[in-house]
Amino acid sequence: MYILSLGTGYHDAAAALFDDYDVIAAVQLERLTRQKQNKGGVPGLCVREVLDIAGLAPKDIDAVVLSRASYPTRYFDYSPLKRVEYGFRRAMGSEKLKDLWGEMNRRGADKAEDIFNRPLFFKEWGFRDDCRLFFSNHHFAHALSALFYTDWDDALMYTADGCGDNVHYSQRILKDGTITTLFGGEDDTKKPRRVDSLGLCYAYATEALGYRPNRHEGKLTGLAAFSEPVVAEDLQKHFQVDENGLIGSDFEDFADMRLTVRQMAEGQEPAAVAASVQKVLEDTIFTSAQRILEKHPVKKIALAGGVFANVRLNRLMCEQTGADEIFIFPGMGDEGLVFGGALQFLMERDGLDAWLQKRRRLDTVYFGRDHNSDIDKVLGGDVLVKKLDGDPADTTSKLLQQGLAGAIYEGRMEFGPRALGARSILASPADKGINDTLNKRLQRTEFMPFAPYVLAEDARMVFDVTDSNHYACQFMTITTAVHKDWHDKIPAVVHVDGTARPQIIRREQNPLYADILMKFKEDTGLPTLVNTSFNAHEEPIINTPDECLTALLNDRVDFVVTQKGAYRRKAA
């Protein structure tokens, strides 16, 4: 059964194509439009991309899964007169988007199907009349995306973000083959919206420091390590956690929260503000989880939602709860809803018992298009580029030892916010100065050092990798301590607090990526390399060969390595 799942959220629109429980392709809209966190409406480019990767047409799709987010007004079941009006607006290029969940609440509709114009939607996109249509629950989809890729018998499923389907959190327990919803189910989404979002609070702090909210929160996460949380107590007093782990606040509304955060930030050093909001986030979420675990003792934790892009919070959730294992879905933001939505459809189709039996661990997130057949033609065909002699891994190791920074372009593009070896920039970890020089070339203003990648057999030698965090470390979603005897050897990947955000790899996942590291280790004795995403500031990660060539010609990197060779710009 072919399932096309679409994310039409307020940011990070995406599409995923499943053959039952198997992922065929998945892509974020930003990678195709080159507009960071592209959003809104039906991501038609994503639909065409995943179908083309699979060699399918819309008529081949058996089920379409949608999130309850924003859609063009023509897809709402209005009166004939309104349809004429919105048809005219569309023709004039002024059609607006409306929030599906908001419209459901306004009209008192129990189901999205009651107000969504399915016949028009299916006709426009070419789906068969007997194709099924399913609307997912935002936070349940987040939770299922994390749980499905485990083999656990029990777990706390915890989600948190700015908002989705009218709530900011969900907490569920898997135990004895049953999922129990503690908060965030359908009934909770229909209640008045609570003013308790730590995700929005963090975004308001990002805004107060002059950064872009819902995009630059990671800057605060890095900046937080450079100061003490001097105003955390003032902010913390506004948040409470009840005995059941439910988070609340005393803010009158979100305007009040935003103003309070802005006033808190006035006159303070940016690092102090970042440290403060980080501490409030960590303390509140941890207290919530701890109280849930006291009442529902389980030993595994599955996390998703944009709040859990915060790698420092994830480390706290792993270490301080005493979890046996933790997993954060790699596409933890709204892009990941296309996975969870399809998985929710499958659960309702097959039943929980069968769904649980179908689970599997995630090996990679290489779900985009493979350009290996074109990348060498594009690079080698440009008169300003030369191909270097020698084995790609050996050549790359030598270039990295010279202090150069190069990009690996290999196989299918990654899904999610992290570059994980398909579209990554590599550099030696031995020189801390690479952070400043490379960030300048990429026009970035980052406070965390670059992340390292490491072979599975070396991971515990260098980093505080345990049975609890090993799985999460495969996807660069958690920080760990770096063993002290390595701090001075690999300073480019060690943060000021002695931590790093490693990616653990195995050769069978990406042979070229592993071979480069193995050759570098053989040459230098260092078992890690820098891995940062292949993109400039405010750009999505590189997707096509032409984009890769442009980055090379614009001096974003010194060279590009592919399966067939390494390429450099010719001397002027």
| Average pLDDT of the segment spanning 124-134 | 97
Give the pLDDT mean for 415-443.
93
Sign of the Cα torsion 128, 132, 137, 141 reads: negative
Q: What is the percent of the chain where pLDDT is above 70?
A: 96
Q: The pTM is what?
A: 0.95
Whether the pLDDT of residue 375 is over 80: the answer is yes
Residue 209 contacts residue 265 (beta carbons within 8 Å): yes
- Axis-axis angle for helices 372-380, 545-553 (nearest 10): 30
Q: What is the mean pLDDT of residues 369-396?
A: 97
Contact between 83 and 151 (Cβ < 8 Å):
no
Q: Is 70 exceeded by the pLDDT of residue 432?
A: yes
Average pLDDT value over all residues in the chain: 94
Rounded to the nearest angstrom, the gap between the alpha carbon of residue 251 and the centroid of all alpha carbons in its chain is: 29
List, in order, residues 6 or more apart from 85 with CB less than 8 Å away. Answer: none
Specify which residues 72 forms β-bridges with: 97
Query: Does the pLDDT value for residue 96 go beyond 90?
Result: no
pLDDT tens by residue, 186-232: 999 999 999 999 999 999 999 999 999 988 999 999 999 999 999 99
Predicted confidence band of residue 319 (pLDDT cuts 50, 70, 90) = very high
pLDDT score at 571: 82
Residue 411's identity, in one-letter code, is G
Secondary structure (DSSP) of 518-533:
HHHHHHHS--EEEEEE
Residue 470 host element (H or E): helix 470-473
Q: What mean pLDDT do residues 437-449 have?
A: 81
d(CA 282, CA 316): 7
Please identify which residue in the block is written with the tokens 């690999």.
490
Tell me what pLDDT residue 444 has.
80
What are the chain's domains?
A: 2-66+68-135 (3.30.420), 146-329 (3.30.420.40), 366-569 (3.90.870.20)
Q: Residue 89 pLDDT > 90, yes or no?
A: no
Average pLDDT over residues 274-299: 98
pLDDT of residue 533: 94
Average pLDDT of span 153-169: 96
Please report which helix (H) or strand (E) contains residue 150, including its range: none
Three-class SS of residue 344?
A: helix
Report how far apart, in Å, the C-alpha atoms of 455 and of each of 204, 482, 515 are. Answer: 38, 15, 10
Task: Please report, rounded to a whole number, the percentage of residues in the chain having pLDDT higher than 90.
Answer: 85
For 283, the token pair is: 């303390």
Lowest model confidence (mean pLDDT) among 82-91, 123-132, 412-421:
82-91
Predicted confidence (pLDDT) at residue 349 exceeds the cutoff of 80: yes
User: For 370-396, b where at least 16 C-beta lie within 10 A, e where not — what string?
Assistant: ebeeebbebbeeeeebbeeeeebbbbb
Residue 78: per-residue pLDDT: 66
Number of H helices, E strands in the chain: 22, 26
523-560 pLDDT per residue, tens: 999 999 999 999 988 899 999 999 999 999 999 999 99
Instruction: Say yes or no to pLDDT of 92 above 80.
Output: no
Mean pLDDT of 137-165: 97
Whether the CB-CB separation of 82 and 22 falls below 8 Å is answered with no
Pairing between β-strand 167-175 and β-strand 325-328 as defined by DSSP bridges: unpaired
Render pLDDT for 464-479 as a digit per residue (tens, 0 to 9).
999 999 999 999 999 9
Give the model's pLDDT for residue 265: 96
Q: Note the Cα 156 to chain centre separation in Å.
A: 20
Helices (H), 1-110: 29-33, 44-54, 80-91, 100-107
Question: Which band of pLDDT confidence, cut at 50, 70 and 90, is reported for residue 97?
Answer: confident
The 10s digit of each residue's pLDDT in 250-272 is 999 999 999 999 999 999 999 99
The Cα 533–Cα 345 span in angstroms is: 33
Provide the CA 445 distance to its chain's centre, in angstroms: 20
